[in-house]
Amino acid sequence: MFKRIQRLDDKVVDNIIKFRSPVKNKIMIAASSAGNLGVIWFAICLPFLIYAPTRMTGVNIIFSLALTELICELMLKHIVKRERPSNYLADEEQLIHRPKYYSFPSGHTAASFCVVGTTLLRCPFYIVIPIFIIAVMISLSRVYLRVHYLSDVAVGAILGFICGCAAVGIFNQVVQSFI
């Protein structure tokens, strides 16, 4: 099964070049950069933190990002140790700098979808939709830029969403125990 997944991943990486264009390159680089260090998610979190009625949602988003970081970046990547597709590409094929760390799962994607999971359970739907669109753009950019395999992104999305939903449950239990 893993060989099949790797073959599919390799096909996607090899064929992504067919979809490239200068305009798409700029869009995807911008989308990927927005996800660097979770900058966009902390920026989105600020209004929640500033406005008193939504402050707990902002704190919950930060908690879900921390939980996701712990599981994906600090644990799973170092257990699986999957090489990035960009490690096998020539320098001139790269549109962004090669990331230093392992590929599986996609941290950008996991962080993005943990915010989707958290906001889905805590916010009105009109807030969730733009967050979902941003999460999808960041995730697709990682495959487009060939710094992740499709399976890295798929698992990152699932794992991030689960972490986001779990973080809401944990957060609610902790908050209720103090009230």
Distance, in Å, from the CA atom of 28 to the CA atom of 22, rounded to the nearest integer, reads: 10
Q: Domain segments of the chain: what residues?
A: 21-178
Give burial (CB, 10 Å; 0-12/13-18/19+) of 46: exposed
CB 62 within 8 A of CB 45: yes
126's tokens: 């009109």
Within 10 Å of residue 35's Cβ, how many Cβ atoms? 23
pLDDT of residue 89: 75
The list of the chain residues with pLDDT below 50 reads none
Residue 123 phi, psi dihedral angles, 5° rounding: -125, 160
CB 168 within 8 A of CB 121: yes
Distance, in Å, from the CA atom of 131 to the CA atom of 169, rounded to the nearest integer, reads: 20
pLDDT of residue 49: 95
Residue 24 phi, psi dihedral angles, 5° rounding: -60, -40
Query: Which residues are CB-neighbours of 53 under 8 A, at least 6 positions away?
Result: none
pLDDT of residue 174: 86
pLDDT of residue 9: 83
pLDDT of residue 111: 97
DSSP 71: I
pLDDT of residue 179: 62
Distance, in Å, from the CA atom of 6 to the CA atom of 85, rounded to the nearest integer, reads: 11
Distance, in Å, from the CA atom of 136 to the CA atom of 157, rounded to the nearest integer, reads: 9
Within 10 Å of residue 44's Cβ, how many Cβ atoms? 18
Strand, coil or helix: what is 105?
coil
pLDDT of residue 5: 83
pLDDT of residue 2: 80
39-55 pLDDT per residue, tens: 999 999 999 999 999 99
SS3 content of the chain, % helix, strand, coil (to 5): 85, 0, 15
**What is the reported pTM?**
0.91
Distance, in Å, from the CA atom of 70 to the CA atom of 76, rounded to the nearest integer, reads: 9
